[in-house]
Amino acid sequence: MEQGQVPLRLRSLAGLFLRLGLSAFGGPAAHIAMMEEEVVRRRRWMDHATFLDLLGLCNLLPGPNSTELAIFIGRTLAGWRGLVLAGLCFIVPAALLTLGFAALYVHFGRLPAAQGFLLGIKPVVLAIVAQAVWNLGRSALRTRRNVLLGLGVLAASFLGIQEALLILGAGLLSLLLAQPRPEASALGLALLPLPGLPVLAAPFSLGGLFWVFLKVGATLFGSGYVLIAFLRTDLVHHLHWLTETQLLDAVAVGQVTPGPVFTTATFIGFLLGSWRGALVATTAIFLPAFLLVGAGAFFLPRIRKSPALSAFMQGVNAAAVGLMATALWDLGQATLASPWTLALGLAAAWLLIRQRVNTTWVIFGGGLAGYLLHLGR
């Protein structure tokens, strides 16, 4: 690309990712498919092999994969300015929409109509998590070793061990089993017994909020839905800043809006600290994605050829399945409290997993069902 073409490419990148940020419903897989259609097929900005290389590296990084892919596309096509521009244009529209929903929730969340709509959405959110567990489990738990790793993480998470430590430990254990070298074994034995750094109950502060979401953005592997498990542990159980119901409502809004699921952070930040909290939480959770993609651009050739990293990621993905299953179990107990919510959750799971109905339509359908049921009471 010639230097004179850069401004035009930057404008084109901005226009594309602003539109995707406003219209990319359906979760990360749908986002990636839309990017492939626009960048490879329609605009021919890169070939399919290059697109797959970028996607493969994003799958090795913690954080929101589809957002990281948008950032990586911008970096590849227009350098560092493209990296920043593509990421911001994909994130900001979704964050602003989520901010609007958060303001409405704070103002209307206790009204009967809003309660009915949200009550109908919650079982659908659980079905979405179940779909993620099913899809990731089919690819991550193909071997007996990975099944055992996933079950071990599931059991350990019920004992209250911190999620980041479980993911790191599963990755290291998978690496040790795949390549038992003395130096690797010593490293694994040194790291695995270390206790997780607990987040203790404390009064709300913007600094504490920044740290919680920065940690999530820098350590979350596997799927955006593992976000539920991370936030549950820190914000609900340790800090006591949120309730289970508020967390589910935040996840539901993150699903209803287009763009990254991680804009759930925007909703939670507004709930806890108004617009300043929304800005802090959104910045903190997405900042690691920009830094990691920037670093990954230098190491892509070496990472692609690393058997050790591949073995590590097998353990990470198995751990992600275990954590998601834990969150599904706990949140299901709190949500499926009546026959109709159970029926709605099962119907949503059938539509998502068997019929492959778009996530957005199922969420709106669940909300409408909850609203109508609430009106009939």
Under a CB-based contact definition with an 8 Å cutoff, are residues 345 and 363 in contact?
no
Under a CB-based contact definition with an 8 Å cutoff, are residues 278 and 99 in contact?
yes
How far is the C-alpha of 236 from the C-alpha of 34, rounded, in Å? 35
| Beta strand residue intervals within the chain, DSSP E | none
pTM higher than 0.75, yes or no? no
pLDDT at 2: 42
Name residue, tokens 């809004």.
253
pLDDT at 191: 38
Average pLDDT score over residue span 163-169: 78
| Beta strand residue intervals within 82-168, DSSP E | none
pLDDT tens digit string along 243-269?
A: 888 888 888 787 778 888 899 999 999
Helices 6-23, 28-36: axis angle to 10 degrees equals 140
How far is the C-alpha of 64 from the C-alpha of 86, rounded, in Å? 14
**Residue 356: what are its φ and ψ, rounded to 5°?**
60, 40
With a pLDDT cut of 70, the percent of the chain lying above it is 83
pLDDT at 193: 40
Judged against a pLDDT cut of 70, whether residue 103 lies above it is answered with yes
pLDDT at 105: 85
Listed residue (294, 250, 282) closest to 88, CA to CA = 282
pLDDT tens digit string along 301-339?
A: 665 567 887 788 778 778 877 877 887 787 777 677 788
Name, in order, each residue with C-beta under 8 angstroms of 217's C-beta and a sequence gap of 6 or more.
Answer: 62, 63, 262, 284, 285, 286, 287, 288, 289
